[in-house]
Amino acid sequence: MVRIETRDNRVRFEVRVQPRASRTEIAGTHGEVLKIRLAAPPVAGAANAELAAFLARTLGLPKSAVRIVKGERGRNKVVEVEGASAPQVRSLLA
C-alpha cells in the first residue's frame, strides 16, 4: 500500500522512477512507494517533466498541480499534487 499524506487540498507521496524505459507507465509498488517507468532519459530534467506530465494526465489535473518537492536528481522522489485526494492516487494502482 502506498503511503499518502494529506494536507489541505494536497496529497504527498513517494515515487521511485525508472528512466529510459520502453514506455511511461505505472509499474506497481516498491514497498510503500509508487513505482513508475518513464520513457524519458534522466537528462536536463526530462524525466522529471515526464513524471509530472504523466501524473497530471493520469489524475486529470493540469501539469501545474504536480510538483516534485524532494529528489529531483535521484530515482526516489516525493511528489505533491494539488487538487487530488488519497483515493484518487490509490486508484492509479487499480
Model confidence over 67-84: pLDDT tens digits? 999 999 999 999 999 999
Provide the pLDDT for residue 1. Answer: 83
Give me the numbers of helices (H) and strands (E) for the chain, helices first please.
2, 6
Is residue 32 within 8 A of residue 54, CB to CB? The reply is: no
Give the CATH architecture of domain 4-93: 2-Layer Sandwich (3.30)
The domain segmentation of the chain, as residue ranges, is: 4-93
Tally Cβ neighbours within 10 Å of residue 64. Answer: 10
Tally Cβ neighbours within 10 Å of residue 9. Answer: 11
Q: Name the residue with cell 525508472.
A: 18
Burial-class residue 74 by CB neighbours within 10 Å (0-12, 13-18, 19+): exposed
Q: What is the pTM of this model?
A: 0.93
Q: Which three cell numbers stand for residue 33?
A: 512507494
